[in-house]
Amino acid sequence: MKTILVTGGSGMIGRRLSELLIEKGYKVIWLSRERYVKAIIPRYRWDYRKGEIDSEALEQADIIIHLSGTNLGEGSWTRLKKQTIVESRVLTARLLLDTLIKLNKKPEAFISASAVGYYGMHTDEKVYYEDDLPARNDFLSRTCKKWEAEAFNFKKELGIRTVALRTSFVIYKNSHALNKIKLPVKFGLGAPIGSGKQFFSWIHLDDLCGIYIKSIEDVNMEGVYNAVSPDQTTNAEFMKCLAKEMKRPFFLPNIPAFILRLIMGEAAGMVLEGSRISPQKVIDKGYIFKFNSLSEAIKESL
C-alpha cells in the first residue's frame, strides 16, 4: 500500500482526491497547519513562511501531490495578494524539495497542480496545447510559469518523475466558485459575462481527480498535461446551460465587462477572457473522461 502525501488536502480538490485514493486502497496523509496524526487522514504540520515542516510526513511519502496555494478567485489582486498567490505555490514546493534533499529521500513522483492561466488571460480562436509558450505581461501566466518551474526542480534535483496538471474551472456540487455563479441564476438573473464569446474551459472534479490518480499509477506520465474537458464552450453557452439545468429564465443582456473590473480589478480577466485548451495529450495517454458534456457535469453538480 503506497502512501500519498497531499498538500492543500483540506481544499475541495484535496478532499475529494483523498476520498477516492482511500477507496482505491492508498494510505493518504496531509501536510496541514496543525498536527493531528490520529485523524482519519493523519495531518502533519508545516509553515512555509517560517520554513517549518514535519519531516515525518516526507519520510512516509511514496508520492507527493502538491495542491497547496491560496485561492486565485477570492478578492482583488492587490500587491500583497499577488505575493501570497505566488509564494503559497512556489515557496511551499521549494520547502518540500529542500527538505527531501536534507533527508536524502526520493519519492517515486511529484505531481503538482498548475492552471490553464499559463496560456494567458485573453480570447482568441487558437487552440492551446502543452508546448505553447506562456503569455507575456500577464500575472497569472507568470505565476503558472514560476509554479511549474519549481515543480520541475524535483526532476532536476532529485531525478524523480514529475507531472504538472494545468487545471481549468472545476465543476462540483460543493464548489464555492460554482455556487457564486449559480446564485444570480437561481434568482433568474443569469446572463453572459462581458462579451460572452470568451471560451470557458472546465473540468468535473471527478475527472480532475481521475487524472491525478492516473498520474500516480501510470509511470509513463511525465511533464505537463492540460486538465480540461474535451467539451469546448463559451461563457454565454455555459451560462445558458446552467440556467437551463436549473430551470431558470435566461433572457437578460450581457453583464458589462467594466462592472466586473470594478469589482474584481485585474482578476476579472479570469472571467472576461478565455481561450480553447486541448486535453488531447492526456486522452492520448489513455484517460477516458467521465463527463464529456457540460450539461452532464452541471446536472451532477446540482
Task: Note the pLDDT of residue 186.
Answer: 87
Cβ contact 151:164 at 8 Å: yes
Task: Note the pLDDT of residue 72.
Answer: 84
* Bridge-based pairing state of the strands 202-204 and 161-167: unpaired
- Structural domains for the chain: 3-236+261-301 (3.40.50.720)
pTM over 0.85: yes
Cα dihedral 259→263→265→270 (10° resolution): -80
Cβ contact 47:33 at 8 Å: yes
pLDDT by position in tens, the chain (length 302): 899 999 999 999 999 999 999 999 999 999 999 999 999 999 999 999 999 999 999 999 999 999 999 988 777 789 999 999 999 999 999 999 999 999 999 999 999 999 999 999 888 889 999 999 998 888 999 999 999 999 999 999 999 999 999 999 999 998 888 888 888 888 888 888 889 999 999 999 999 999 999 999 999 999 999 999 999 899 999 999 999 999 998 888 888 887 878 777 777 777 788 899 999 999 999 999 999 999 999 999 88
Cα dihedral 211→132→82→51 (10° resolution): 60
CA–CA distance, 83 with 207 (Å, rounded to integer): 30
Cα dihedral 266→170→165→146 (10° resolution): 20
Task: Note the pLDDT of residue 209.
Answer: 98
CA–CA distance, 179 with 246 (Å, rounded to integer): 12
Cell of 21: 485514493
Task: Note the pLDDT of residue 5.
Answer: 98
